[in-house]
Amino acid sequence: MSEQVNMVELYYEERGQGLPVVLLHGFPFSHAIWQAQQAALSDAARIITPDLRGHGKSPAPEGDYTMDLLASDVLALLDRLNVSRAVWVGHSMGGYILMAALRQAPDRIAGVGLVATHPLADAEEKRFQRRESADLAMENGSGDTAFSMMSQIFAPDVDGTSPLAQSMYDIMVNTAPAGIAGAQRGMALRPDSSNTLRELSVPAVIVAGVDDKIIGLDKARAMAALIPGVQLVEVENAGHMPMVEQPDATTGALRGLIRMVQANER
């Protein structure tokens, strides 16, 4: 009974045919951050972009959104779409969810894309900050989170008043407070996933913004050292949002991943 209570039906969009590729957005965004990749890659694959629990147009129940729970939501969506095996690409928190899915259902993942993410658990200070942010979101709404992240997510040369920056702010400020709180508490609970990545045996690509202030390039390089045969793509003039700051470079990296998986699956 409790599992049914926990289930939510995710909003999603899809475009293209062929190899299923799931693009998971980070916190506190929505599927809309992948708009350029969905359009550009739909000639090569079936691109599925869900809104994670508590984000975008998906339901936002109260409670802790553990990475296992969010991974289960995505697996349930793929069941609904009759997708038994797919390439999973995760941005930031989406990467944490991908790593949880690798533990839950490794046979359902044909390839891995890790974008502006890392496998480490939070330090205790960071856990405290997340729980504090969760409480503030429930008390005051999403504005504080959106405002504080605006100074962190872009490379230095991105104009914070530009339409691009404003579009990201609009997504964040419209994320449900319960979604922000649930995701923050869930991320604070996540385990170290380094061993999960060491055991990876499918094609993998890491995309890292050279100017990422949230997850530094050193973490991306350390993560790359864990994964046999991984391709590390370091994106110049990009911060934490390479898919919108440098969409062509990000799309190119993911197109390369799709080709590797297609060759591997033959």
The tens digit of pLDDT for each residue in 12-43 reads: 999 999 999 999 999 999 999 999 999 999 99
Whose tokens are 């993998």? That residue is 204
What parts of the chain have a pLDDT lower than 50? Answer: 1-5
- State which residues form the domain around 49: 2-265
**Cβ atoms within 10 Å, residue 263:** 9
- Residue 3, pLDDT score: 41
Structure-token match 């530009």, residue found:
162
Write the CB contacts of 175 (distance below 8 Å, at least 6 apart in sequence): 28, 29, 30, 54, 55, 56, 142, 145, 146
Residue corresponding to tokens 């005051």? 140
Predicted local confidence at residue 58, as pLDDT:
98
pLDDT score of 7: 80
Q: What is the rounded CA–CA span in Å between residue 3 and residue 73?
A: 11
Name the domain count of the chain: 1
DSSP 189-224: TPPP-HHHHHT--S-EEEEEETT-SSS-HHHHHHHH
> Residue 238 belongs to a domain with what CATH number?
3.40.50.1820
Identity of residue 34: W
Q: What is the pLDDT of residues 95-124, one digit of tens each?
A: 999 999 999 999 999 999 999 999 999 999
